[in-house]
């Protein structure tokens, strides 16, 4: 695995994509990673409805990212800026940070990948990829924008975790480990940045109706739903509403919290 500390350094010569990226007191700026999938799209649309200008990251799914941008505009938002990049590639990660002009008011770390299988089925490459995408990328992206947040003494950092980061899951050990690490990151960083007026929180979805769960058989899905007191899967929009709350001024005293969105499945 390549060395990673301090790989992201923002400088005065950093190139910008569009001047409209800059957040203002009237139009705050939100940066959302993994914005081409169902949950990322719902988050972007909800924030657009709340008046945010958006910088949206995607990797391979350009069509999905364009759809997200279209829906954000239809929701009443301005045209989002799209940034492509592979968060598992340190060079690409650096480029992503350099393309975002200014400091976001809200950062939403939504990129992720499911790892399903016995723990011994995953090799070193899988481990390195999971760490890079799930832990190192959020860590470095946050660090790239922290100087600006610290300077103005405000900011919201929100990570999308998982119910498995709270409880662990057999046959999803690697995924559970990454999400559990994110939860610890949230709690520790919230304590460190609290005196500077910056809130750090996580959202831990349970079973959500997204493509990530398309691999489940009908019987497996039914068994999971039967175990959920709410009696159904959640929706991407319900996850997005949780993010929207944590991004809002009303959550100024909420920090270091992992907000479960799981229909009382695990509580």
138 domain-assigned: yes
The Cα–Cα gap between 82 and 60 comes to 12
**175 counts as catalytic:** yes
pLDDT in the model for residue 217: 84
Read off the pLDDT of residues 49-88 as tens digits, 9 standing for 90 and up: 999 999 999 999 999 999 999 999 999 999 999 999 999 9
More confident residue, 160 or 101: 160
More confident residue, 91 or 19: 91
46 domain-assigned: yes
Q: At residue 98, does pLDDT exceed 90? A: no
5 domain-assigned: no
Q: At residue 92, does pLDDT exceed 80? A: yes
Q: Do residues 100 and 61 touch, judged by C-beta distance below 8 A?
A: no
CA 114-184-89 angle, to 5 degrees, is 50
Rounded to whole angstroms, what are the CA distances from 94 to 38, 81, 143? Answer: 25, 17, 11
| Helix%, strand%, coil% for the chain, nearest 5 | 45, 15, 40
266 domain-assigned: no
Q: For the residues 87-92, what does the mean pLDDT come to? A: 90
pLDDT in the model for residue 214: 75
12 domain-assigned: no
25 band by pLDDT with thresholds 50, 70 and 90: low
pLDDT in the model for residue 21: 53
18 domain-assigned: no
14 domain-assigned: no
This prediction's pTM:
0.90
Residue 165: CATH number of its domain: 3.40.50.720
Q: At residue 12, does pLDDT exceed 70? A: no
> Among candidates 160, 136, 157, which has minimal Cα distance to 146?
157
Read off the pLDDT of residues 221-256 as tens digits, 9 standing for 90 and up: 899 999 999 999 999 999 999 999 999 999 999 999
Q: For the residues 195-213, what does the mean pLDDT come to? A: 94
Structural domains of the chain, count: 1
List 175, 185, 245, 253, catalytic entry: 175
124 domain-assigned: yes
The Cα–Cα gap between 261 and 233 comes to 10
> Among candidates 65, 77, 69, which has minimal Cα distance to 27?
77
22 band by pLDDT with thresholds 50, 70 and 90: low
The Cα–Cα gap between 39 and 13 comes to 34
In terms of residue numbers, what domain contains 60? Answer: 24-261
Would you call 83 helix, strand, or coil by DSSP? strand
């Amino acid at each position: 695995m390549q060395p990673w500390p301090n790989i992201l350094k923002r400088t005065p010569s950093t190139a910008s994509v569009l001047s409209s990226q800059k957040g203002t007191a009237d139009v705050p700026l939100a940066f959302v990673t993994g914005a081409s999938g169902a949950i990322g799209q719902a988050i972007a649309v909800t924030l657009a409805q709340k008046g945010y200008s958006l910088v949206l990251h995607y990797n391979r799914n350009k069509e999905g990212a364009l759809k997200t941008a279209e829906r954000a505009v239809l929701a009443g938002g301005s045209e989002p800026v799209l940034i492509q990049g592979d968060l598992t590639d340190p060079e690409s990660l650096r480029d992503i940070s350099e393309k975002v002009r200014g400091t976001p008011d809200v950062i939403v770390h939504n990129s992720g990948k499911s790892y399903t299988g016995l723990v011994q089925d995953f090799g070193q490459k899988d481990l390195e990829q999971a760490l890079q995408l799930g832990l190192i990328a959020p860590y470095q992206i946050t660090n790239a924008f922290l100087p600006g947040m610290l300077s103005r003494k405000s900011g919201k950092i929100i990570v999308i975790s998982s119910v498995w980061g709270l409880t662990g899951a057999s046959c999803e050990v690697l995924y559970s480990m990454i999400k559990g690490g994110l939860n610890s990151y949230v709690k520790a960083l919230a304590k460190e940045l609290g005196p500077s007026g910056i809130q750090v929180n996580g959202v831990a979805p349970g079973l959500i109706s997204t493509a990530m769960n398309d691999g489940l058989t009908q019987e497996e899905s039914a068994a999971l739903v039967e175990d959920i007191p709410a009696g159904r899967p959640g929706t991407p929009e319900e996850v997005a509403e949780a993010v929207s709350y944590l991004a809002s001024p009303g959550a100024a005293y909420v920090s270091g919290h992992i907000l479960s969105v799981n229909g009382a499945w695990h509580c």
